[in-house]
Amino acid sequence: MADETKNPETVTVTIDGVQIEVPKGTTILDAAARVGVDVLHYCYHEGLSAPAQCRMCLVEVEKAPKLMPACVTTVADGNVILTQSEKALKSREGTLEFYLVNHPLDCPVCDQSGECKLQDYVSEEGRAMGRLREPKRVFGRDDFGGDVLYEGDRCIMCTRCVRFMREVAQDERLSIVSRGSRNVIDTFFDEGLGGNIWADNVIDICPVGALVSKDFLHKARAWDLDRVPSVCPNCSQGCNITLQTRDNEVMRLKPRPNEEVNSFWMCDYGRLNYSWINRKGRIEAPLVREGGRMVPMSWSDTLLRLAEAAKVASGGVRAVVSPFLSNEDLGAARRLVDALGGGEGVYRSAKGEEVVLPGFPALALREDRAANVKGAELFGFTRTGDGAGKGGLEVAGAHGGVLVVVGDDLEDAPADFGAGAGLFVYVGHVLSPAARNAHFVLPATTFAEMEGTFTNVNYRVQRFWPALQVPGMARPTWQVLGVLLAGLLGGAVPATPEQAFEGLAELRAEFSGIRYADLGAHGRPLPQLGQLAEAAGD
């Protein structure tokens, strides 16, 4: 490259024969990633400082006397970097052999097996046979408090967990104790990690099976899990997550990186609060009340009867919706309320203390412990009930006209809730005592069984995908209500989640600013309102 064309802000380097121009100050590891070269590493993590101590990322830089740690060495113009040279390969093979000196090789009983970097790297580049003939040192197991269990023998001393607690959680509860090969990670005092709601992130970033979750302990093998990108439903932050399931059951939630929302992290409240997604006893068929009995019926018969009933209903509409519904569901509920003559709609949401992650303050466990409170408000529903998400149903429950309940399980509602309604439509998941008063019970899917979007606390719209099979004849709420609305008003039924999403623009102009296809796996801020929220935050 001629000097006069040279950009002073960039340098040109060659990595494994591929030339690339990168900004000054780029590390070898990052530059290599740009040309598709994965430099093996343990201690380096994008969200943490780089101590360069695992010595896995040593690569050959031509003319340098020693191998250089790729994670902290910045590239210089004209560098020729070899990650696969004989020297680099020999170094990695040697270091991997060292990693196994005191490692118990208990993969058959280790939860990390199948997603373990030690397993991966040793099978890729390690020796076929170890040469160790000596006894290994033994630490055993240590309960770190909270959900975290430490298997000291598996630990490779990368210190990611120590650095996470120091730099991100900013609550130094972990430290290396002792020296040399007697090094072990330990907690201070009896409390350990218990009480810090970010602690489980250390399990995610542990490259081996040294830190494991008590909740997930021996529950499933990594290779048996199906992984679906989703959004954490447990607060309005909307952390990007992966729903990990086996045999149609959620086994665990794991954070999915999103620099705009949750970086690499999520809180333990959201992570461990998933049993409700696996709830059994779901409604599997539409039910229509005939006399005193609930009679299962086909969708077409049910919706035809419901449309007939709705056409003659009177007395105004009262609606109760759930902040766990998708934007598309909430939009459809709004349309139904409007189509039936309009009326008041409410939602209930539990509240709790906000807990900010100090090292990434954009992330917090939010006050609203439901994913789509902002969506519910956007579509004109107002908050009712108490801070536990209970109560507040007196007006709706005593309503004599049309009562529409969507998504709210009514578990705490009095047994006579809706008993006096002229028409009581219940769209939901389980048949609580109050739901039994409905004239029509329509089984709906949860967020984990369908495709859709949530709007988070900062008006960011994010997609989720189906991870579980639909129970019986249950259908997404937007689809059920869409068919019903077509029956009432005529017009087309949205055939796909995308069409349902595009239809939201008719209700809220902000949604015209984003296209479903552009949301991708990381979402987009809602135009205007999103900007308003930012300005308010400043």
Binding site for other proteins (CB under 8 A): 51-56, 58, 65-67, 69, 72, 90-91, 94-95, 97-99, 101-102, 131-135, 156-157, 159, 176, 178-183
Contact between 265 and 201 under an 8 Å Cβ cutoff? The reply is yes
- What is the helix (H) or strand (E) element at residue 311, kind and residue range? helix 299-312
The encoded tokens of residue 127 equal 């020796």
- In the complex with other proteins, the residue whose CB is nearer, 92 or 256, is 92
- In the complex with other proteins, the residue whose CB is nearer, 3 or 86, is 86
- In the complex with other proteins, the residue whose CB is nearer, 2 or 138, is 138
- In the complex with other proteins, the residue whose CB is nearer, 108 or 180, is 180
Name the DSSP letter for residue 351: B
In the complex, the smallest distance separating the C-beta of residue 98 from other proteins, rounded to whole angstroms, is 4
In the complex, the smallest distance separating the C-beta of residue 91 from other proteins, rounded to whole angstroms, is 6
In the complex, the smallest distance separating the C-beta of residue 264 from other proteins, rounded to whole angstroms, is 23
Rounded alpha-carbon distances, angstroms, from residue 350 to 50, 262, 394, 501: 40, 21, 18, 26
In the complex, the smallest distance separating the C-beta of residue 94 from other proteins, rounded to whole angstroms, is 3
In the complex, the smallest distance separating the C-beta of residue 54 from other proteins, rounded to whole angstroms, is 6
Taking each continuous run of H as one helix and of E as one strand, the counts in the chain are 14, 26
Helix H segments across 172-217? 201-205
Give how far the C-alpha of residue 87 lies from the chain's centroid of Cα atoms, to the nearest Å: 41
Task: Give the full edge-to-edge strand order of the sheet including 148-151.
Answer: 141-143, 148-151, 211-213
DSSP 368-387: B-STTHHHHHHTT-EEES-T
Question: 3-state DSSP call for residue 99?
Answer: helix
Name the DSSP letter for residue 263: B
In the complex, the smallest distance separating the C-beta of residue 234 from other proteins, rounded to whole angstroms, is 37
Contact between 428 and 319 under an 8 Å Cβ cutoff? The reply is no
In the complex, the smallest distance separating the C-beta of residue 179 from other proteins, rounded to whole angstroms, is 6
Q: Which of 465, 461, 457, 313 is nearest to 373 (CA)?
A: 457
- In the complex with other proteins, the residue whose CB is nearer, 84 or 496, is 84
- In the complex with other proteins, the residue whose CB is nearer, 183 or 499, is 183
- In the complex with other proteins, the residue whose CB is nearer, 51 or 414, is 51
- In the complex with other proteins, the residue whose CB is nearer, 65 or 537, is 65
* Alpha carbons 461 and 524: distance in angstroms, whole number: 5
* Alpha carbons 500 and 247: distance in angstroms, whole number: 29
In the complex, the smallest distance separating the C-beta of residue 46 from other proteins, rounded to whole angstroms, is 18
* Alpha carbons 443 and 475: distance in angstroms, whole number: 7
